[in-house]
Amino acid sequence: MKVTILDDYHDTLRTLPCFAKLDGHEVTVWNDHLQDVDGLAERLAETEALVLIRERTKIRTPLLERLPNLRLISQRSVYPHIDIDTCTRLGIIVSSDQHAGTPSYATAELTWGLVLAAMREIPQQMASLQAGNWQTDDGRSVRGKTLGIFGWGRIGKVVASYGDTFGMNVLVWASEAGQERARADGRAVADSKGAFFSQCDVLSLHMRLYEPTRGIVTAADLACMKPTALLVNTSRAPLIESGALEAALLAGRPGMAAVDVYEEEPVRDPKHPLLTMPNVVCTPHIGYVTREEYNLQFTDVFDQINAYGDGAPTSVVNPDVMANPRPRP
């Protein structure tokens, strides 16, 4: 099949062991990012199987209707960036393994790296040295402080375990079902959302983005946080009410933030509000970007392509399409 891979910024995939799974296919890899519909339609005109790297490119109806050869979209995890109903209508199968029970340890590791970087002011201390100065300020320890986990899922559980190792007191807030799971796991659950935001010294968001969670963190929630507190977001930016984090940081509650995700990505403007704040540590959405995590994820993604080629698609998220899929060549 003619396979196209989008948004492989560092041309990483062809260097991984899993890439051998595409032997025998005609593979095209694009290293830049393009969202323009006309440009994408031209690039993907002959594509039969499209590989997406998470949510980097939105695959919407105006594009899908211009891709007559597309038969399969193969990716991993959630798919809010794909118009699934349109795929079903056009006969395009969407395979997306949900990796149940397998957290992204890479994202959990980055989350903890951001916690330590922000609390100990590591980027600021490094910049001071590079400028020919010595220490800039006193950092803060995490031991004995309260670590808040907002959302009790796979990654949140791993981050909580890191908090245990560092001697922190873990406190959870989540949906009612998430609260029950947390209690069953022996975790303390806050009395209320307001109490949760006011008690945490470090508060980390770990939820999937869908309509009920969009803007779930409000300006009022952030205003409850301590002026010494740190908010960490390695999940999705729209979990926080638009503009609320920047305003809250300027108001001094919370006192710090560490973020890996943004409302519009990629961020190319060095004057982005979060990038200009001295009390914010920013990274360019690298939570899952490690060679080990990529090889794990794309083993699944490429297996899905071969399963389709063998006539037995797997991890199909739009099963109704199977009644009338586009014919294979």
Catalytic residues: 236, 265, 285
User: Which position has the token pair 């320890």?
Assistant: 141
Amino acid identity, position 208: R
Tokens of 246: 């920047």
CA–CA gap between residue 66 and residue 158 (Å, rounded): 42
CA-atom Rg of the chain in angstroms: 22
Question: Integer distance in angstroms from the first to the last C-alpha of the chain?
Answer: 9
CA–CA gap between residue 45 and residue 66 (Å, rounded): 8
Are β-strands 256-259 and 2-5 bridged in parallel, bridged antiparallel, or unpaired? Answer: unpaired
- Per DSSP (E only), the strands in the chain are 2-5, 26-29, 49-51, 72-76, 93-97, 146-150, 169-173, 188-189, 202-205, 230-233, 256-259, 280-282
